[in-house]
């Protein structure tokens, strides 16, 4: 009889548990622009390509916290790999107007350790409707010591998931997303007629 009591409690807890209704925020962006690097007293400017993939908390909240993996390829130099924490406004994560911030360690396998192998990298994201965003990133310090990591990039990106799965807000007037991730967010403020 003693063995049946825990089993009964587990079954009762599973049957009584409410269903989870929260979705996650998802990001998948590709972009192109320019990168600047300053090492050993010389400044180099190169075309750049970026790609990022990440997930975050429920997109219906005012702020979304998540993580993102990003690569930035500086043509004729090499590719930086980065794993960052991301904080965005709800509007950004729902594919509308908004901002975001990425901060995290990077790995640079090019430059023969002359340009900082482990740069701390940050990026400011400016989001617009239809999946468009501007990402401006910078290398702040070399987490591995010297030499310092000094450089940055600016790329115009297209986020496929902000354009499709996540999209809602000002674009609904032209093309409604019937099932946005997290469910529709009701407008608030004077425009909502409250």
Q: In whole angstroms, what is the distance from residue 4 CA to residue 26 CA?
A: 42
Q: In whole angstroms, what is the distance from residue 42 CA to residue 76 CA?
A: 15
- Find out whether 120 and 149 touch, Cβ atoms under 8 Å: yes
Q: Please indicate, yes or no, if residue 4 is contained in any of the structural domains.
A: no
User: Higher pLDDT residue, 193 or 174?
Assistant: 174
Domain count of the fold of the chain: 1
pLDDT tens readout for residues 93-110: 999 999 999 999 999 887
Q: What is the pLDDT of residue 43?
A: 79
Q: Please indicate, yes or no, if residue 52 is contained in any of the structural domains.
A: yes
Q: Please indicate, yes or no, if residue 158 is contained in any of the structural domains.
A: yes
* Position 123 pLDDT exceeds 80: yes
Q: At 73, list the tokens.
A: 């390829």
Count of residues making up the chain? 194
Q: Which residues span the domain enclosing 46?
A: 22-175
Q: Please indicate, yes or no, if residue 7 is contained in any of the structural domains.
A: no
- Find out whether 132 and 91 touch, Cβ atoms under 8 Å: no
pLDDT tens readout for residues 37-56: 876 667 788 999 999 999 99
Q: At 29, list the tokens.
A: 């962006």
Q: Please indicate, yes or no, if residue 189 is contained in any of the structural domains.
A: no
Q: In whole angstroms, what is the distance from residue 42 CA to residue 96 CA?
A: 39
* Position 22 pLDDT exceeds 70: no
* Position 58 pLDDT exceeds 50: yes
Helix ranges (DSSP H) in the chain: 4-16, 90-93, 160-163
CATH number reported for the structural domain that contains residue 158 in this entry = 2.40.160
Q: What is the pLDDT of residue 181?
A: 83
Q: Please indicate, yes or no, if residue 67 is contained in any of the structural domains.
A: yes
Average pLDDT estimate for 9-30: 72
């Amino acid at each position: 009889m003693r063995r049946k009591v825990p089993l009964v409690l587990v079954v009762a807890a599973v049957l009584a548990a409410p269903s989870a209704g929260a979705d996650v925020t998802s990001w998948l962006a590709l972009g192109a622009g320019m990168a600047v690097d300053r090492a050993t007293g010389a400044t180099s400017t190169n075309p750049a390509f970026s790609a990022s993939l990440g997930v975050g908390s429920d997109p219906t909240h005012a702020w979304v916290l998540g993580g993102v993996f990003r690569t930035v390829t500086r043509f004729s130099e090499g590719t930086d790999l980065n794993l960052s924490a991301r904080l965005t406004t709800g509007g950004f994560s729902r594919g509308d107007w908004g901002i975001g911030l990425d901060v995290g360690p990077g790995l640079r396998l090019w430059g023969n350790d002359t340009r900082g192998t482990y740069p701390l990298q940050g990026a400011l994201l400016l989001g617009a409707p239809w999946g468009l965003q501007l990402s401006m990133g910078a290398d702040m310090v070399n987490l591995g010591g010297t030499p310092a990591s000094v450089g940055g990039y600016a790329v115009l990106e297209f986020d496929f998931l902000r354009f499709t799965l996540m999209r809602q807000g000002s674009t609904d007037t032209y093309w409604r997303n019937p099932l946005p991730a997290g469910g529709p967010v009701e407008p608030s403020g004077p425009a909502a007629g409250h």
